[in-house]
Structure 1
Amino acid sequence: MVTAMTHLAYYLPAAGAPAELIQRATPTPGPGELLIETKAVALNPLDWYQRGWGFHIKHPAVIGSDVAGIVIATGTDVPAGAPKVGARVLAMAPSFYSFGKPDYGALQEKVVVSSADIMELPDSMSFVDAATFPMAILTAWSGWYSIGLRRDTSYTAADKKCMLVWGGASSIGGMAVQTAKTMGYTVFASASPKNFDYVKSLGAAKVFDYHDTDVVEQIVRAAKEDGLSISTGFDSAGDMKSCHAILKEFGTESEPALLSEARPFTPEQEPITPGVMMKFIVPPENDIERAEFVAFIFAWLKQHIADGSVVPSPPARVVEGGLAGVDAALDILQKGVSCEKLVVEI
């Protein structure tokens, strides 16, 4: 069912065909859903995978996940505690889970989202900053979920627990640094030297240059000098070899160090390292468990935004042109960015 209204959308009509800007019918949200008037969308590598390769979508499609905007309609059976019409919100648009079904992609002026995947914004937070959160925070917590790290994990300095985050200046890596810090880990991260101070501002105790040929030895030595055990790691940059080389110094076959890996890999690519267990990041697949998981994450995020222990990361860079600028923004993202999150305002 749709309303009589239409809105502008960044639309992928067919595999291999260029994107189009079209007017499409504005949908009515269904049971448990809300309709958001989009104000800002942050871009992720997933978006250019989908644009260029048709990854995990069925055409025609509208892509995009990280959205911030205003609730303008609600469907039936929306929980009483969900944001009301007029609320400023951030949300995880379900494009990935719907294989790009057009109503559910963020890159359009109106998008349908689940009432489970949404959080009301504090008045002080801009739509641009808010849009940087959803994919990063959900991926970071999904990484901890994948390796069995409990949501209520809470260490103190006396526990000497250290977390390795490879690629701490990236969107997902920066959120891994912040979430690990709130759980009480001492965080060691890798980054380019120009981003050292920034990664430390997110909570990393020490940051190392991943370009250094002896970076593995530097990290292992620093941890041992500080009496720390690097028993857990998060690789957001795809350097499995270095992560394994570090973690094997602290894990054993009976109690392996755990690595959460953000980049897909085949069995042939996976290093086999005694004392290290690596898992690709996946969220809960069961719909009920996933809804509970996301509800926890957004409740956690709201609390930590309020107390200032979690901030948008990395800084947003607005790409001009709105929906008409999406192709140019995705081209920039595909070439690679450093310590910035590309955002489109709509």
Structure 2
Amino acid sequence: MAPTNQAAWLTKAGTPLEVSDAPLPTAGPGELVVKNAAVAINPLDCHMQDHGVFVQQWPSVFGCDVAGEVYEAGEGVQSFKKGDRVIGHAINLVSGRPQDGAYALYTVIPANKAAILPDTISFTDGVVVPFALEAAVCALSLKVPGVAMPGVATPALALPYPSLEDVPASGKTLVIYGGSSAVGSMTTQIATATGINVISVAGKHNFDFSKRCGATQVFDHKDPLVVEKVIEAVGISEFIGIFDVVATPETYAHDLAIFAKLGGGHLASVHPPPPDLPANVTGGMIFAVNDIATPVWEEYVTPALKAGKLQCLPPPTVVGKGLEHINEALKKCKAGLKNTVEEVRPVMPPLSAVEKQRPQISGIFTPYNYRPNTPPYTSSWLWSKYAEFNLKHFDCQRLMFVSF
């Protein structure tokens, strides 16, 4: 007998998610169906709930990070089988399909965005990896600019993939603003595994954590001399640029001051970069769903986790067990509690009249580019929604988790 699936549905922007039945998904070619054991909450999820940002189909099931067991492997999938412990990146953000959202008991993910999770690592630890990993690789390794959203390019730093071997120092330096966040700490790990020297800007209380991730020097974002200290720390090394994981007017002002002294470079950010960048600064906004990360998923993640070269950081905090705790996790994410996880158990509330009429889910996969059905949000509108939130959450870009 087939299992019963449930999901946390967003029926309207600005409303709580509603837990109810969902169709049990099937794995298409190159896909996995994962029976989720833990899912992670990202700040982007808060914006999707509050404003419907990037929602393509109502009602919607979103969420990016899953950890669990393979329930079904689709045609052509050879690296995974039923029962394998995996982590993976759910891509509802680009596909728009509810079955591709993490906030469900069963989720469809691309097999090339999944990796075997070693038995020594718990699901709640492993689930911190997927979205942050793909964001880091997109920030560092794209060779040709793509499109993050209309009028906003992706960065193209063209840095090498991380290596399982110890690599010599490259003599190149990257500054990560928000280095103790989930994406910042993951990018620090990935960059240092390529031989890049990382200078981190973080909260003073996270200095040791940033160094644990591989940063050679860390500076307090509240220090009035932070710009001068970063410039001095770069020294005579080859300055690549800045990955701004906070991306607010305040941090962009610091970025531009650093570029002015160091002769320009690349600015990668999680939001649209400021307009009218100097000619010697190439700016881009990452979009953390891209096949550039496929070799890292397939060849690096599992052996790096086994060897301890890739760490599941920041450590998660479990909000609760069950889909019904995702609303609580989203609230705590907005409030600023760090690194929260939620474990999920099925609940069986009575179906409302609307839910009883919900159609079966079907959809066509959308390529990894700008989503044509997404409402025409402007970069300035998105920035205005993100900026205040991210400044408040300077050191906690990955906040909450739920386990199943």
Q: Say yes or no: TM over 0.5.
A: yes
The alpha-carbon deviation at position 306 of structure 1 amounts to 2.6
The answer as to 2:240 corresponding to 1:240 is no
Instruction: Give the 3 Å change call, closer, same or farther, for CA 304–341 of structure 1 in structure 2.
Output: farther
Q: Match of 1:172, SS?
A: helix
Check if 1:79 corresponds to 2:77. yes
How far 1:151 moved relative to its partner? 2.7
Q: Distance in 2 between matches of 1:211 and 1:188?
A: 16
Q: Does the 8 Å contact 1:132/1:341 carry over to 2?
A: no
2:320 aligns with 320
The residue aligned with 1:69 is 68
Q: CA deviation at 1:215?
A: 0.6
Q: Is the CA contact 1:5–1:25 (under 8 Å) kept in the aligned structure 2?
A: no
- C-alpha RMSD over aligned residues: 2.1
Give the AA of the match of 1:187. V
Moved more, 202-211 or 228-237: 228-237
Query: 100, 105, 118: which is aligned to 1:104?
Result: 100
3-state secondary structure, aligned to 2:4: strand
- In 2, the alpha carbon distance for the partners of 1:272 and 1:35 equals 43
1:41-60, CA deviations, whole angstroms, 9 ceiling, x for partnerless residues? 01111111111111111211
CA distance in 2, matches of 1:160, 1:29: 45
Task: Please say if residues 248 and 276 of structure 1, whose CA atoms lie closer than 8 Å, have aligned partners that are also in contact.
Answer: no
> Against the structure 1 CA distance between its residues 175 and 28, is the aligned structure 2 distance closer, same or farther, given a 3 Å change threshold?
same
Q: Distance in 1 between matches of 2:311 and 2:399?
A: 13
Q: Deviations over 1:164-216 (max 9, x none)?
A: 01001100000111111111112110111110011011111110001011110
Q: Do the aligned partners of 1:156 and 1:185 also contact (CA within 8 Å) in 2?
A: no
CA distance in 2, matches of 1:83, 1:263: 34
SS in 2 for 1:248: helix
Give the C-alpha shift of residue 163 in structure 1.
Answer: 1.1
Q: Conserved in 2, the CA contact under 8 Å of 1:315 and 1:341?
A: no
Contact 2:124 2:403 in 1 (8 A): yes
Larger relative contact order (CA 8 Å, sep ≥ 6): 2
Task: Give the aligned partner of residue 382 of structure 2.
Answer: none
Once the two structures are TM-superposed, the CA of residue 153 in structure 1 deviates from its matched residue by 7.8
Shift of 1:39: 0.2
Q: Which residue of 2 aligns with 1:223?
A: 234
> Could you give the per-residue CA deviations for residues 250-295 of structure 1, whole angstroms, max 9, x where no partner exists?
23xxxx4112111234xxx33523432211113576xxxx2x6424
In the alignment, the residues of structure 1 paired with residue 244 and residue 168 of structure 2 have an alpha-carbon distance, to the nearest angstrom, of: 23
Cα distance in 2 for partners of 1:23, 1:68 equals 21
Query: 2:88 and 2:189 mapped to 1: Cα distance?
Result: 20
- Select which of 251, 263, 268 maps to 1:260: 268
Please name the residue that 2:114 is paired with.
118
Q: For residues 32-181 of structure 1, what are the structure 2 equivalents within 5 Å? A: 32-57=30-55, 58-75=57-74, 77-80=75-78, 82-99=79-96, 101-144=97-140, 145=142, 146-152=155-161, 156-157=168-169, 159-181=170-192
Tell me the residue number matched to 2:278: 273
Contact 2:322 2:403 in 1 (8 A): yes
> Would you say the 8 A contact 1:147–1:259 is kept in 2?
no
In the alignment, the residues of structure 2 paired with residue 331 and residue 284 of structure 1 have an alpha-carbon distance, to the nearest angstrom, of: 25
Q: CA deviation at 1:329?
A: 0.8
CA distance, structure 2, for counterparts of residue 139 and residue 56 of structure 1: 17
The structure 2 residue matched to 1:191, chosen from 171, 177, 202, is: 202
Deviates further, 124-133 or 335-344: 335-344
What corresponds to 1:206 in structure 2? 217
SS in 1 for 2:94: coil
| TM-score, normalised with respect to structure 2 | 0.76
Give % identity.
30
Contact 1:4 1:25 in 2 (8 A): no
Aligned mates of 1:260, 1:69 — CA distance in 2: 32
- TM-fit CA distance, 1:122: 1.0
Contact preservation (8 Å) 1:163, 1:185: yes
> Within 1, Cα distance between the matches of 2:162 and 2:111?
27
Aligned to 1:250: 262
Deviates further, 11-20 or 197-206: 11-20
Give the Cα–Cα distance (whole angstroms) in 2 for the partners of residues 79 and 18 of structure 1.
36
TM-score (normalizing by structure 1): 0.88
Unaligned runs of 5+ in 2: 143-154, 339-394
Q: Which runs of 5+ in 1 are unaligned?
A: none
> Taking structure 1 as reference, are residues 79 and 320 closer, same or farther at Cα in structure 2, changes over 3 Å only?
closer
Q: Is the 8 A contact 2:103 2:323 kept in 1?
A: yes
1:152 CA drift (Å): 4.5
Amino acid at match of 2:401: V
Counterpart CA distance in 1 for 2:64 and 2:50 is 16
* Deviations 1:30-71, CA, capped at 9 Å, x for gaps: 222221110000111111111111111121111111000001
